[in-house]
Amino acid sequence: MLGCNNYEVHDLGVMVPAERVLDTAKELGADVIGLSGLITPSLDQMVDAAHEMERRGLDLPLLIGGATTSRQHTAVKIAPEYSQPVVHVLDASRVVGVVSSLLDPARRATLDAENRAAQEQLREQHAERQRKPLLPIAQARENKHEVAFNDLTTPSFTGLRFIEPSLETLREYIDWQFFFYAWELKGKFPAILERPEARELYEDALEQLDEIVRGGLLTARGVYGFWPASSGGDDIVVQDDNDTRFCFLRQQTRHADSRPNRCLADYVAPAGTGAGDHIGAFAVTAGIGLDEITARFEAEHDDYRSIIAKALADRLAEAFAEYLHEVARREWYEQGGKLSTEQLIAERFRGIRPAFGYPACPDHSEKRKLFDLLGAEDIGISLTESGAMIPPASVSGIYLGHPEVRYFSVGRVGRDQVEDYAVRKNVPLAEVERWLQPNLAYERGIDPAPVSA
Ligand code: B12
């Protein structure tokens, strides 16, 4: 957006240390610094970057954007670290107005004053919410979701399987709505095609997709498996060679009604019941070969096609996860005719595939165990220190098959649960708190929110 409006933009790429961003900004004499975050571990790095900007005594405004960021996080965590303007821009179409104001001394003062007032209000709202008492973890556990385990089916195999479906197969599973979402075009597919700009984009994307499929320009590769498993408290213990123990969090919200306080472990039969339950796991990528495609477009200064290629790879990765979930359900418990793409998108089937980082299991660091269980590195997916997968167009998670399992959000967690979680994971409390920062119902190192019985 800025580039199209005659601003000079230096994109330093992904996972760039704050030092390099700030050194480069100094070297180039930048007017503004922008940071983008896709998954929650980047949030903490943004706080560190703001802190470092203050330490260096900079006076450049800081812009924050990206899917995982929020106005609230920017106000509560990032802005207090830096005395200059820190502006959250969730919608890139706003960025030109924001930057032009920030570069004009009079308008900068107005924008800054309004932004600070709005952020102060957000901090107050946040403090109010943090004061809402949570259930003590012991009571939340007593209110777990009690489900029956008398109808378990056994998967057709245990252990690992590799899979390399054709792109032709995967394209049938694409959820196009999210393709348009990546272009800030919101609306239901296919109705959205009535808009001329959406129709044009769709035609360009189909043309490129045909080229990718025909030329085999991307490779989709995945691994999945099933193992006997049981729950032990809020953990799920997998019977593999290492007895992998996935640790989960439980909702601690005080419900006014009879809703349970859910945890994903509630949906796997407890150890010692002899129920013979299982879980599945998967990792898929559709991003092998993408760098070559985008390098070609970028050399031709064709940003439009480069972005289409990335968005298509993301869609194919998600389509792969959807397709593989269907394969896995059939290996495990699903019979009958195949579901239509619409039924798949509406999730009209039994079982879920939660991914570490999603609201039901927000701790990205559990992905390390998942990668070890699956040997995901062997199919060409690697994991960065902050839990991001490379290539970017990758998805990984577990399969749970209980008829009553649904997606949910863990939400805020109290210090009592986090301390217990650190013991279960055998990791120092401070490290666990760093990974769970967005879910903490208390300030690290400060008095916790009340936990009332
Ligand atoms: C598309 C998508 C994917 C794709 C593509 C990811 C990718 N490589 O880009 C796929 C399917 C591969 C994917 C995978 C995963 N995803 Co995902 N994904 C999304 C989704 C649905 C949309 C994100 C998106 O591209 N939006 C469109 C773009 C254009 O919007 P945007 O990023 O917000 O950027 C806009 C603005 O913020 C702004 N902006 C962005 N940056 C900046 C910077 C500046 C300076 C400025 C001014 C503006 C600005 O400009 C953009 C245009 O307006 C979001 C959910 C959501 N609704 O946001 C989840 C989401 C980002 N994913 C999430 C997760 C957890 C994952 C996985 C870790 C899951 C997993 N275990 O497999 C993986 C991680 C992949 C990896 N490589 O590590 C979480 C992240 C939150 C978290 N807890 O960390 C989200 C929020 C879903 C959720 N609610 O839980 N994902």
- For position 271, what pLDDT does the model report? 93
pLDDT for residue 71: 96
Contacts of 53-59 with C-beta under 8 Å, sequence gap 24+, read: 53/22, 53/81, 53/82, 53/84, 54/81, 54/82, 54/83, 56/22, 58/22, 58/25, 58/84, 59/84
Q: Which pLDDT tens digit goes with each residue over 418-444?
A: 999 999 999 999 999 999 999 999 988
What backbone phi and psi angles, to 5 degrees, belong to 283? Answer: -145, 130
Least confident interval from 151-165, 221-235, 341-355: 341-355
d(CA 313, CA 321): 12
Residue-wise pLDDT for 17-36, tens only, equals: 899 999 999 999 999 999 99
Residue 8 lies in a domain: yes
Average pLDDT of the segment spanning 108-119: 97
pTM summary value: 0.93
57/150 same-domain check: no
Among candidate residues 78, 76, 72, the one with its CA nearest the CA of residue 34: 78
Structurally, how many domains does the chain consist of?
2
Taking 80 as the threshold, does the pLDDT of residue 86 lie above it? Answer: yes
Together in a domain, 160 and 58: no
Domain assignment present for residue 453? The answer is no
Distances in Å between the Cα of 289 and the Cα atoms of 15, 24, 141, 172 are: 20, 29, 46, 20
**Which residues lie with the beta carbon below 6 Å from any ligand 1 atom?**
34-36, 38-40, 63, 65-68, 89-92, 95, 178, 181-182, 184, 314, 317-318, 355-359, 362, 388-389, 392-397
* Whether residue 126 is found in the same domain as residue 149: no
Pair (272, 321) in one structural domain: yes
pLDDT band at 339 (very low <50, low <70, confident <90, very high): confident
Residue nearest to atom 3 of ligand 1 (CA): 314
- Cα-to-centroid distance, 77 and ligand 1 (Å): 20
43 and 89 in a common domain: yes
Residue where a domain terminates, one of 131, 155, 190: 131
Clarify whether residues 65 and 149 are in a common domain: no
- The Å distance, Cα 344 to ligand 1 centre, comes to 21
Domain CATH number, residue 65: 3.40.50.280
Based on the fold, state whether residues 88 and 231 are members of the same structural domain. Answer: no
Atom of ligand 1 nearest to the CA of 182: 27
The domain in which residue 344 lies consists of 138-164+221-286+317-399
Q: What is the pLDDT of residues 347-397, one digit of tens each?
A: 778 999 999 999 999 999 999 999 999 999 999 999 998 899 999 999 999
Which pLDDT score, from 0 to 100, does residue 446 have?
Answer: 55
Residue 208 falls inside a structural domain: no
- Residue of 31, 35, 39 to test ligand 1 pocket, by largest number of atoms within 8 Å of CB: 39
The residue whose CA has the least distance to atom 4 of ligand 1 is 314
CATH of the domain at 261: 3.10.196.10
Confidence at residue 452, expressed as pLDDT on a 0 to 100 scale: 55
Q: Do 236 and 356 fall within a single domain?
A: yes
- Spatial distance between the Cα atoms of 40 and 18, rounded to a whole number of angstroms: 16
The predicted structure's pLDDT at residue 337: 77
Residues in the chain: 453
Are 78 and 226 within one domain?
no
Tell the residue nearest (CA) to atom 40 of ligand 1. 66
- Going by C-alpha positions, the residue among 436, 421, 428, 424 that lies closest to residue 387 is 436
Do both 242 and 381 map to the same domain?
A: yes
Say if residue 57 is in the same domain as residue 149.
no
Could you read off the pLDDT of 272-318 as tens digits, one per residue? 888 899 999 999 999 999 999 999 998 998 989 999 999 999 999 99
C-alpha of residue 69 to centroid of ligand 1, in Å: 10
Q: How far apart are CA 124 and CA 130, in angstroms?
A: 10
Tokens matching residue 165: 């479906």
